């Protein structure tokens, strides 16, 4: 309790959207790691997953994976999204990882808002978007290792999202009805990432490959910091190898049958995401 109170003891000096960095990805893609890497010098207020409606009253009505047409400037959820992204939220959940006391800029780390990224880019262009993409099979493998359910219904119940993906609707219906565990998890990944992969303006957002950041940190991390207008860390390797607060050191690795993996990758291909995914790698 004392720790939660301490994390919420800060003075926020502005709520300008231009002072917000949004790090967004699917769960188990490394978004906490990337957010903490950006905040290696504790220069930002860290806002942890404010779009979680069951923990954050200001997010009431925003569903997991919500999609809004980017042209709808007056959408009913717009004020709530602006509130969350400009730091006008303060509670033990959002501030659990915050260590900044005098706040002039913030990082919003979020796993529920990938489908909102085109809307945010259009309606809140001042927000600096870092969209993190990780291989869908590896994301799914990580969820399996933690025994997390696919919770596909959260996405399948959203008609605006399904209308946007209308060409893939027969495929979505078939996999949701008859797909195996890995198929359903990869379908979930597709439903969370098809919109940003195909609609996000990459000239005004940083699309960051998890795999590339892991393999080429000396090149990739300075690029990311330049996009954000920040000086890169002096010791890139020391910064990038810090374990994140969301890491699971005792996680059991899951071996997947090669045939299941092949079928899962065929699903990504059938979804039309091979090319945009390759462009992110």
| pLDDT averaged over 10-residue windows placed end to end, the chain, 281 residues | 63 96 97 96 97 98 98 97 97 95 97 98 98 97 94 96 97 97 98 98 97 94 96 84 64 84 97 92 80
Backbone angles phi, psi at 244, to 5 degrees: -85, 165
**C-alpha to C-alpha distance for 164 and 238, rounded to whole angstroms:** 42
Q: Is the pTM of this model over 0.85?
A: yes
Give percent helix, percent strand, percent coil of the chain, each to the nearest 5. Answer: 45, 10, 45
Torsion of CA 65, 70, 75, 80, to 10 degrees: 50
**C-alpha to C-alpha distance for 211 and 135, rounded to whole angstroms:** 8
Q: Which whole-number Å values give the CA distances from 254 to 6, 143, 144, 157, 184, in the listed order?
A: 38, 10, 7, 29, 16
**C-alpha to C-alpha distance for 267 and 244, rounded to whole angstroms:** 31
Q: Which residue has the tokens 């720790």?
A: 3
| Cβ–Cβ < 8 Å for 99, 42 | yes
Domain boundaries, the chain: 2-245+252-279
pLDDT at 251: 56
pLDDT at 2: 43
pLDDT at 236: 79
Output the CATH code of domain 2-245+252-279.
3.40.50
CB burial of residue 257 (10 Å; 0-12, 13-18, 19+):
exposed
Q: Name the token pair of 23.
A: 């790090």
**C-alpha to C-alpha distance for 150 and 152, rounded to whole angstroms:** 5
């Amino acid at each position: 309790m004392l720790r939660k109170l301490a994390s919420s003891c800060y003075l926020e000096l502005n709520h300008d959207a231009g002072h917000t960095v949004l790090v967004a990805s699917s769960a188990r893609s490394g978004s906490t790691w990337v957010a903490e890497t950006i905040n290696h010098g504790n220069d930002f207020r860290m806002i942890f997953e404010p779009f979680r409606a069951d923990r954050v009253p200001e997010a009431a009505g925003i569903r997991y994976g919500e999609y809004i047409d980017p042209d709808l400037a007056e959408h009913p959820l717009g004020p709530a999204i602006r509130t969350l992204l400009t730091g006008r939220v303060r509670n033990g959940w959002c501030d659990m990882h915050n260590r900044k006391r005098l706040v002039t800029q913030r990082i919003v780390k979020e796993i529920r808002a990938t489908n909102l990224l085109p809307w945010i880019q259009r309606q809140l262009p001042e927000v600096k978007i870092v969209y993190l993409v990780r291989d869908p099979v590896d994301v799914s493998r990580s969820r399996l290792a933690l025994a997390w359910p696919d919770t596909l219904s959260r996405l399948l119940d959203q008609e605006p999202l399904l209308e946007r993906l209308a060409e893939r609707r027969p495929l979505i219906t078939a996999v949701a009805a008859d797909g195996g565990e890995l198929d359903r998890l990869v379908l979930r990944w597709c439903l969370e990432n098809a919109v940003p992969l195909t609609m996000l303006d990459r000239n005004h957002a940083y699309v960051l490959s998890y795999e590339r950041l892991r393999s080429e940190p000396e090149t990739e991390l300075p690029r990311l910091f330049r996009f954000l207008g920040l000086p890169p860390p002096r010791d890139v390797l020391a910064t990038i190898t810090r374990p994140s607060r969301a890491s699971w050191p005792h996680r059991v690795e899951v071996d997947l049958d090669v045939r299941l993996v092949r079928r899962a990758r065929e699903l990504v291909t059938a979804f039309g995401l091979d090319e945009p995914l390759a462009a992110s790698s």
